[in-house]
Amino acid sequence: MVKTEVVLCGTPIKNPVIPASGTFGFGVEFAELYDINCLGSISIKGTTAEERFGNPTPRIAETPAGMLNAVGLQNPGADRVANEELPRLARLFDGPVMANVSGFSVSDFIIAVEKLDPVPNVGWFEINISCPNVHGGGMAFGTDPEAAAEVTAAVRGVTKKPVIVKLSPNVTDIVKIAKAVEAAGADGVSLINTLLGMRIDLKTKRPVLRNRTGGLSGPAVLPVALRMVWDVYEAVRIPVVGMGGVSRAEDVIEMMLAGATAVEVGAANLRDPFACRNIVRDLPETMEKYGIDDLSSIIGGAH
């Protein structure tokens, strides 16, 4: 019998498979299709201090090996997530969940975390620092080590729950950002967020997305994500959650060999709502195929 359990920032989970934020809603819709208790955890839809309606449409575009999205963090706001969405999810999923939080100022992050912190089924905070800092010239928090560290320290100061900082790949040196958030108190890092991209409609000769650019996800980004997970794993002492292009059990194992303790599955959920269930189902057989008895034993095993 193979062992799929891993421990993420001190909390054991039954397997490393976690649906990524923005691709699984708040879990309710997927619970109508299969028993979501098979999952290691769930990273809920990105939550902001106040309700957001997101960007104007069109805000989704297909690419040859993935998709672009510019949804713009559409969500009902931290109050409703804390009082409605998370309690509803607790009735359907018996494990701890990852509360993904976004903001456009340091105070935005603090407010959202403070509102979500008392909710019992929040096991970790996943802090999305890919948002533009409206008080810092519009540059994303995640592209500047000092800004990333400032957000991390601010959030660390208002919760005792583990703080996992989600890193942007749209930087020259992601290791520098990872080291900065570790020094500021992060308990873990997750990577990668989406890569900036765009498409042009040949008929209209204009960008397909109303927002012009969007985040690229899907199988095309897997090699980029693996390289960044590898580099960050070698540079920090805190756990790494790997993501980017994962769609099969083999991809999960590859991410873990690169250094991931847990693995998030994103765009695959939008193409096939059973993607995460199928990965969890296939993991034991895939482990046996490659002579793996315990998933925890392979974390960083390729280094």
How confident is the model at residue 137, as a pLDDT? 67
Domain boundaries, the chain: 6-48+75-194+217-298
178-232 pLDDT, tens per residue?
Answer: 999 999 999 999 999 999 999 999 999 999 999 999 999 999 999 999 999 999 9
Tokens 């998370």 sit on residue: 86
Beta bridge partners of 13: 6
Name the percent of the chain lying above pLDDT 70.
Answer: 98
Question: Residue 154: enclosing H or E segment and its boundaries?
Answer: helix 145-156
Alpha-carbon gap, residue 41 to 240, rounded angstroms: 15
Alpha-carbon gap, residue 278 to 251, rounded angstroms: 13
Task: Read off φ and ψ for residue 212, nearest 5 degrees.
Answer: 75, -60
292-303 pLDDT, tens per residue?
Answer: 999 999 999 999
Q: What is the pTM of this model?
A: 0.97
Is 89 in contact with 44 (CB distance < 8 Å)?
Answer: yes
- CATH class held by domain 6-48+75-194+217-298: alpha beta
Name the percent of the chain lying above pLDDT 90.
Answer: 96
The residues annotated with a catalytic role in the active site are 131
